Amino acid sequence: MRRISYREALNEAMMQEMERDPNVFVYGLDVSDHKRIFGSTVGLVEKFGAERCFGTPLSEDAMTGFGLGAAINGLRPIHIHIRVDFMILAMNQIVNMVSSCRYTSAGKLKVPLVIRAVIGRGWGQGFQHSKSMHSVFAHIPGLKVVLPTTPRDVKGLLISAIRDDNPVIFMEHRWLYDTIGEVPEDPEAIPLGESNILRSGNDITVVATSWLNVEALKAAEVMQKHGISVEVVDPRTISPLNDKLILESVKKTGHCIVADDDWLNCGFSAEVAARVSEFCFKDLKSPVSRIGFAATPCPTTRPLENKFYPNAIDIIKSIESKLELQPLDLSNEEFYSYENKFRGPF
């Protein structure tokens, strides 16, 4: 199958959906400038015109309510935030209006609104260009929250998000944009609300979100050399969460690490831990472990930033500790560095 990048897959999903459905449009700050949201909106304004792809004032809150107004009247807006940190300005609309609109109209209105946001680590981005926040959105009934990891998933899940009649928060890790993987050319819709086993294994389960799946896969590859087989489960849609594959995996392995690309406290990792404890209690050979951001704002300086964000080594150490292994020699392993960009594979 053809291999393309995550950003190209994102772009292709929007391109194909805008071709298919004239009610789909894309808007947000800088969607049609020369940088095109890290390349993900390339070609849209040229192909569909400024009516269906336009930049906006820095009015994140009103432009979200604007999307709601468009959605309840039959259009299918895609609102884009180049960083989730700006989307926080729209919390009032998202939490007070978008999420509740269908419910409080007793089902008379539907809200086919997609809000795309770039999340996670960049390059010395500090505390306002670096967050994920998906746990906050997953807390709100009425929203769907999707975190695609692979290029194939990002295309297929975005297609489903656009076709969905509910508001979907669609979160894309900045580092994933450079990942390459197999993506079908046809518009393949991957259903929302289904987890995915990224790597099968028998000894331990790692439930990871977004970029941390890349780190978990690296950790699994390292552990394999030492005879430990790690299963990596990507929930993909964290709300509403279909926990079937997660629970089946933990019942099989008896060990669970949740590596969430977010803060831990009251977060998605806690939700997974609670469900695993509730439904896999008798199968657990060790308590659920959690890996996530340090409980601090994100610092800018590299040594502290390295410590703030978890990575494959943290996952390896957690596996060693849970399985009571001797610490491995990792000196010959090559781990991901943003300086090198991503080269795959997926």
Q: Which of the residues are catalytic?
A: 129
What DSSP character marks residue 190? P
Q: C-beta of 53: minimal distance to other proteins in Å?
A: 13
Among 15, 101, 158, 264, binds other proteins (CB under 8 A): 101
Q: C-beta of 205: minimal distance to other proteins in Å?
A: 28
d(CA 133, CA 314): 21
Q: Number of residues interacting with other proteins: please give it, by CB under 8 A.
A: 41
The residue range among 41-49, 141-149, 226-234, 245-253 that interacts with other proteins, by the rule CB under 8 A, is: 141-149
By CB under 8 A, the residues from 143 to 182 that bind other proteins are 144, 164-166
Residues 6+ apart with CB under 8 A from 35: none
Q: C-beta of 236: minimal distance to other proteins in Å?
A: 17
| Torsion angle defined by CA atoms of residues 328, 336, 123 and 34, in that order, rounded to the nearest 10 degrees | -170
Instruction: With beta carbons less than 8 A apart as the criterion, state whether 323 and 292 touch.
Output: no
Residue window 9-48: x/- pattern of binding to other proteins, with contact defined by CB under 8 A:
----------------------------------------
How does strand 196-199 pair with strand 230-234?
antiparallel
d(CA 87, CA 98): 13
The reply to whether 139 sits near other proteins by the rule CB under 8 A is: no
Q: C-beta of 106: minimal distance to other proteins in Å?
A: 4
In this structure, the number of other CB atoms found within 10 A of the CB of residue 156 comes to 23
Instruction: With beta carbons less than 8 A apart as the criterion, state whether 268 and 238 touch.
Output: yes
How does strand 230-234 pair with strand 3-5?
unpaired
Give, in order, the Cα–Cα distances in Å from 278 to each of 26, 196, 267, 271, 323.
Answer: 41, 21, 17, 11, 22
The reply to whether 202 sits near other proteins by the rule CB under 8 A is: no
Q: What are phi and psi of 261, to 5 degrees?
A: -80, 60
Q: C-beta of 89: minimal distance to other proteins in Å?
A: 9
Tokens at residue 310, please? 């978890």
The reply to whether 275 sits near other proteins by the rule CB under 8 A is: no
Q: Specify the residue, 61 or 333, whose C-beta has the smaller distance to other proteins.
A: 61
Q: Specify the residue, 13 or 70, whose C-beta has the smaller distance to other proteins.
A: 70
Q: Specify the residue, 8 or 271, whose C-beta has the smaller distance to other proteins.
A: 271
Q: What are phi and psi of 239, to 5 degrees?
A: -155, 130
Residue window 58-87: x/- pattern of binding to other proteins, with contact defined by CB under 8 A:
-x-xxxxxxxxxxxxxxx------------
Q: What are phi and psi of 73, to 5 degrees?
A: -110, 20
The reply to whether 1 sits near other proteins by the rule CB under 8 A is: no
The reply to whether 50 sits near other proteins by the rule CB under 8 A is: no
d(CA 138, CA 195): 15
The reply to whether 328 sits near other proteins by the rule CB under 8 A is: no
Q: Specify the residue, 57 or 227, whose C-beta has the smaller distance to other proteins.
A: 57
**By the criterion CB under 8 A, which residues form the site for other proteins?**
51, 56-57, 59, 61-75, 92-93, 96-97, 101-111, 141-142, 144, 164-166, 240
